[in-house]
Chain A
Amino acid sequence: MKKIKRIDLWRWMIIAFVGSYLLIPVFAMLEFSTRGAPGERSADAWTAIPTFPKLLSSVYSSLQLAVVVILAVVFILVPTMIWIHLRLPHLRRYMELICLLPLTIPAIVIVVGIAPTYRVLYQIFGSSTLTLSFVYFILVLPYSYRSISASLFSIDSHTLSEASRSLGASTIRMIAGVIVPNIKVGIMSGAVISIALVLGEFTISNLLNFETMQVVINLLGKRDAATSVAVSLAALIFAFVLLAILPTTNRSRSSKLKTNRKAKVAKYE
């Protein structure tokens, strides 16, 4: 016989209130984008999505951008972090500072300072949105750094690297084959947040006149509100599904046992 504790009541009330604050607008997006004749629902706004050529191509280029940024994170950030962690520990503080700097420098400020650089890049790379990958890489640094470094610290990378070296592995083999698999969770988590960030970024791409998904949605919004809302909702759901299914928490067996026992045995108020 389970009594409903007073505290559970409070919990659910709070979750309901905040939940509605967050979900009602999302639901409204669905409602808005499916309005048809009075009293009817229609999928017109959704089916119209492919008819806006710029829309689909901008979605495509934003996704490409996300992929490039993730590649940069995996092939530049991760090796650099591992390298510093193992070989240049005295540089770690500086790296941490650099990686947290983007949090303190608002995107709008970055745009101001980066405009001249991008004028040059425009000459070299043209107007492809992929040029944004450079500055986006910087933007995702705080989030990726944090999750990867949490993973790096939780494994004993020094012992792992020494063990693999003593067995004859080359440096690259060691990094790719031994360290990386163990920090997979941190990398994934960083990658996933990067996707959300890239897909959601507007400020820099808008002011630098690149046509990313957000920019196009904004333009479209002035003409066809319903379809822009539909695309926004679709992007939102896509990002949500991605974050929900990818494994982003590392639960070792012992911690699982402990939390299970603690959760069952001791519920604090």
Chain B
Amino acid sequence: MSNVIEVRLIGLSKSFGDVQALNNFSLDMAKGELVALLGPSGCGKTTALRALAGLQPLDSGKIIVHDKDITDLPTNKRNMGMVFQSYSLFPHMSALENVEYGLKMGFRKVSNTERQKKSKELLDLVDLASHMNHFPHQLSGGQQQRIALARALAISPNVLLLDEPLSALDAKVRSQLRDEIRRIQLEVGTTTLFVTHDQEEALGIADRVGVMKKGVLEQIATPAQLYDKPATSFVAEFVGLTNPIEGEVRNGKINILGQEIEILPGSVTSGKAKALIRPEAISINKESNANAQVLTISFLGAMLRVLLKLNNGSMITAQLPSSENLNYRIGDQVLIRINPFPVFAKEL
């Protein structure tokens, strides 16, 4: 990943009737970077991707790729490979023919031998050379998406666009393919925009993740920054799990369960608020001045999830290493302590 800015989306806006799909949306992408757009359905992430592809006309805004303004350029001149959520492949063509499609376009001036060589290379890259004469209906969902990826890369695109490519697949295939996509993307070095509603997916493979809500980019940062330093309550709650615990904010700190924890910028600055605490930031201790009771304990293999009831009635979930399994029983009265990392405090 270099420092050269390859793609600039500047002030994109688009509304459908009274729904604002994109609201002055701006994003820069560096060459070779994989940026994920994350958000619930209707947040505008797909609209942004399709605008970049040229499939979505905009009300206003500019799109600059390679220092060229392509806002008014039709899709077939943008040289961007795209993988769709479903029905990506042409059903009447074999895998090989699908991959070759882009290279058959006259204006690319690719000779037959070059085309065949490149296509086979790509099929090797996605590990499906043995299936090259199979038709889409003979391939599994995961295989189809891999062919779609190969097809998109065949044209050596400026930008690779992935519109929820894994959403229609089984869970197991999803995580496998996710890593493969990242591996291939790094190998080929294409600037990539990856749209998803699954935060695990986004955080797992992206260099940077942009969280979107109602057409607005709430925060764009590395996965770690998003997780540890969310800029808004939406980001804090959308990414990872949170436990809202009530407390009082004063002087840049929130007082919960008798502890003073620092609050992140963007939080409520004074008065009553809810601190958003990560499950792994909660430690459980067997001490006399208990402030919670154990309700359920779920053994999840590598870790333990404990549901606790605080003295004020609210319920929180803590996450512990499973080595602590034998230490607690349902019904135990325990003392909760919050690890002193800065947290986001949202309004009640």
Instruction: Decide if A and B touch, CB cutoff 8 A.
Output: yes
- Give chain B residues whose Cβ lies under 8 Å from the Cβ of A264: 16
- Give chain B residues whose Cβ lies under 8 Å from the Cβ of A266: 50, 55
Select from chain A the residue with minimum beta-carbon distance to B42.
A261
B47: CB under 8 A from chain A?
yes
- Give chain A residues whose Cβ lies under 8 Å from the Cβ of B56: 265
User: How many pairs of A and B residues are in contact by the CB < 8 Å rule?
Assistant: 9
Q: Taking the nearest CB of chain B, how far is it from the CB of A268, in angstroms?
A: 10
Instruction: Give the total of B residues in contact with A, Cβ under 8 Å.
Output: 6
Select from chain B the residue with minimum beta-carbon distance to A264.
B16
How far, in angstroms, from A265 to B44 measured CA to CA in the complex? Answer: 12
How far, in angstroms, from A204 to B329 measured CA to CA in the complex? Answer: 82
- Give chain A residues whose Cβ lies under 8 Å from the Cβ of B46: 265
How far, in angstroms, from A264 to B16 measured CA to CA in the complex? Answer: 8
Instruction: Give the total of A residues in contact with B, Cβ under 8 Å.
Output: 3
Contact with B along A240-269 (1 / 0, CB 8 A): 000000000000000000000000111000
How far, in angstroms, from A153 to B42 measured CA to CA in the complex? Answer: 31
Select from chain A the residue with minimum beta-carbon distance to B47.
A265
Contact with A along B90-116 (1 / 0, CB 8 A): 000000000000000000000000000
How far, in angstroms, from A266 to B75 measured CA to CA in the complex? Answer: 12
Q: Taking the nearest CB of chain B, how far is it from the CB of A121, in angstroms?
A: 49
Q: Which of B25-56 contact A (CB under 8 A)?
A: 46-47, 50, 55-56
- Give chain A residues whose Cβ lies under 8 Å from the Cβ of B50: 265-266
How far, in angstroms, from A264 to B57 measured CA to CA in the complex? Answer: 11
How far, in angstroms, from A266 to B49 measured CA to CA in the complex? Answer: 13
How far, in angstroms, from A265 to B50 measured CA to CA in the complex? Answer: 9
Q: Taking the nearest CB of chain A, how far is it from the CB of B77, in angstroms?
A: 16
How far, in angstroms, from A266 to B56 measured CA to CA in the complex? Answer: 7
How far, in angstroms, from A265 to B41 measured CA to CA in the complex? Answer: 14
Q: Taking the nearest CB of chain B, how far is it from the CB of A4, in angstroms?
A: 15
How far, in angstroms, from A265 to B56 measured CA to CA in the complex? Answer: 7
How far, in angstroms, from A265 to B17 measured CA to CA in the complex? Answer: 12
Q: Which of B43-89 contact A (CB under 8 A)?
A: 46-47, 50, 55-56
How far, in angstroms, from A219 to B47 measured CA to CA in the complex? Answer: 63
Select from chain B the residue with minimum beta-carbon distance to A257.
B41
- Give chain A residues whose Cβ lies under 8 Å from the Cβ of B55: 265-266
Q: Taking the nearest CB of chain B, how far is it from the CB of A267, in angstroms?
A: 10
How far, in angstroms, from A24 to B28 measured CA to CA in the complex? Answer: 58
Q: Taking the nearest CB of chain B, how far is it from the CB of A181, in angstroms?
A: 30
How far, in angstroms, from A266 to B87 measured CA to CA in the complex? Answer: 14
Q: Taking the nearest CB of chain B, how far is it from the CB of A67, in angstroms?
A: 43
Select from chain A the residue with minimum beta-carbon distance to B50.
A265
Interchain residue pairs with CB less than 8 A apart (9): A264-B16, A265-B16, A265-B46, A265-B47, A265-B50, A265-B55, A265-B56, A266-B50, A266-B55
Apart from A265-B56, A266-B50, A266-B55, what are 6 other A-B pairs with CB-CB below 8 Å?
A: A264-B16, A265-B16, A265-B46, A265-B47, A265-B50, A265-B55
Nearest 8 CB-CB pairings of A with B: A264-B16, A266-B55, A265-B56, A265-B50, A265-B47, A265-B55, A266-B50, A265-B46
